Structure 1
Amino acid sequence: MQGIQINKIDDNFYRSLEINLPKPDLADNEILVQVHYGGLNYADLMMCNGSYPHPKGYPLQAGIEFSGIIVKCGSEVQKLSVGDRVAGFSENAGAFSEFLSVPQDSVTKLIEEVSLEDGAAYYVQTTTAFHLLNTIGKVQANDIVLIHAIGGGVGLNLTQLAKHAGATVVGTVGTSGKEKRPLECGADLVLDRTKHDFTNEIQQKFGKTPVRLLIDSTGAEILNDSFDLMQNLGHVVSYGEASGKPYDNLWSQLVLRSLTFSRLHIGHINHQSEEWTHAQITIQELIKNGELKLFIEHIFLLNDFDLAYHALDSRKVSGKILLKLK
Structure 2
Amino acid sequence: MTRRVIQLDAFGGADVLQLREEPIAPPAEGEVQLRQVAMGFNYIDIYQRSGKYPLPLPTGLGHEAAGVVESVGHGVTDFQVGDRVIYMNAGVGAYADRRNVDATKLARIPDGIDEIMAVAVFFKAMTAEYLLHRTYPVKAGDIVLVHAAAGGVGQILSRWAKGLGACVIGTAGSDEKCRIAREAGCDHAINYSQEGWVERVIAASEGRKAHVVYDSVGRHTFLGSLDCARKFGTVVVFGAASGPAPSIDPELLNKKGCLFLTRPSVFPHNADAAAFRANADAVFQALRKGWIKPSVSARFPLDKVADAHAMAERRQNAGSIVILP
Counterpart of 1:146 in structure 2 is 145
Report the Cα distance in structure 2 between the residues aligned to 1:274 and 1:163, rounded to whole angstroms. Answer: 27
Deviation at 1:222, TM superposition (A): 1.5
* 1:93–1:22 CA distance, 2 compared to 1 (3 A): farther
Report the Cα distance in structure 2 between the residues aligned to 1:46 and 1:151, rounded to whole angstroms. Answer: 20
Counterpart of 1:178 in structure 2 is 177
1:34 aligns with 2:39: no
CA offset digits 1:117-138 (Å, max 9, x no partner): 0221122101101111112111
Deviation at 1:83, TM superposition (A): 1.2
Report the Cα distance in structure 2 between the residues aligned to 1:118 and 1:308, rounded to whole angstroms. Answer: 17
Please say which of residues 288-297 and 125-134 is displaced more in the overlay.
288-297
Contact 1:13 1:49 in 2 (8 A): no
SS in 2 for 1:266: coil
* 1:268–1:207 CA distance, 2 compared to 1 (3 A): same
* 1:289–1:218 CA distance, 2 compared to 1 (3 A): closer
1:113 aligns with 2:115: no
Contact 1:147 1:216 in 2 (8 A): yes
**What is the RMSD of the two structures over their aligned residues, measured on CA atoms?**
2.2
Contact 2:13 2:49 in 1 (8 A): no
Counterpart of 2:213 in structure 1 is 214
Report the Cα distance in structure 1 between the residues aligned to 2:203 and 2:89, rounded to whole angstroms. Answer: 45
SS in 2 for 1:177: helix
Contact 1:271 1:277 in 2 (8 A): no
CA offset digits 1:2-27 (Å, max 9, x no partner): 12121228999711111x21214533
Identity %: 25
TM-score normalised by length of structure 2: 0.91
1:263 aligns with 2:283: no
Contact 1:24 1:100 in 2 (8 A): no
CA offset digits 1:68-117 (Å, max 9, x no partner): 01112222222222211011125432211121112112121000111110
Report the Cα distance in structure 1 between the residues aligned to 2:185 and 2:299, rounded to whole angstroms. Answer: 26
**Alignment of structure 1 residues 13-52 onto 2, 5 Å:** 14-18=16-20, 20-24=21-25, 26-52=27-53
Deviation at 1:253, TM superposition (A): 2.7
SS in 2 for 1:8: coil
Contact 1:114 1:287 in 2 (8 A): no
* 1:210–1:93 CA distance, 2 compared to 1 (3 A): same
Counterpart of 1:3 in structure 2 is 5
SS in 2 for 1:186: coil
* 1:273–1:195 CA distance, 2 compared to 1 (3 A): same
Counterpart of 2:60 in structure 1 is 61
Contact 2:31 2:100 in 1 (8 A): yes
CA offset digits 1:132-172 (Å, max 9, x no partner): 11121110111000111111100000001100000001121
SS in 2 for 1:224: helix
Report the Cα distance in structure 2 between the residues aligned to 1:307 and 1:221, rounded to whole angstroms. Answer: 26
* 1:204–1:63 CA distance, 2 compared to 1 (3 A): closer
1:78 aligns with 2:80: no
Greater than 4 Å deviation, 4+ residue runs: 9-13
Report the Cα distance in structure 1 between the residues aligned to 2:241 and 2:323, rounded to whole angstroms. Answer: 24
Contact 2:40 2:323 in 1 (8 A): yes
Q: Which runs of 5+ in 1 are unaligned?
A: none
Counterpart of 1:193 in structure 2 is 192
**Alignment of structure 1 residues 245-284 onto 2, 5 Å:** 245-256=244-255, 257-272=257-272, 276-284=276-284
Deviation at 1:229, TM superposition (A): 2.2
* 1:274–1:235 CA distance, 2 compared to 1 (3 A): farther
CA offset digits 1:201-240 (Å, max 9, x no partner): 1222324442101111122352112212222221111211
Report the Cα distance in structure 1 between the residues aligned to 2:10 and 2:243, rounded to whole angstroms. Answer: 25
Contact 1:24 1:99 in 2 (8 A): no
1:307 aligns with 2:307: yes
Report the Cα distance in structure 2 between the residues aligned to 1:11 and 1:304, rounded to whole angstroms. Answer: 14
* 1:248–1:322 CA distance, 2 compared to 1 (3 A): closer
Report the Cα distance in structure 1 between the residues aligned to 2:39 and 2:319, rounded to whole angstroms. Answer: 14
Amino acid paired to 1:184? E
Amino acid paired to 1:6? L
Report the Cα distance in structure 1 between the residues aligned to 2:119 and 2:226, rounded to whole angstroms. Answer: 35
* 1:112–1:14 CA distance, 2 compared to 1 (3 A): same
Contact 2:144 2:211 in 1 (8 A): yes
Q: Which runs of 5+ in 2 are unaligned?
A: none
* 1:32–1:183 CA distance, 2 compared to 1 (3 A): same
SS in 1 for 2:323: strand
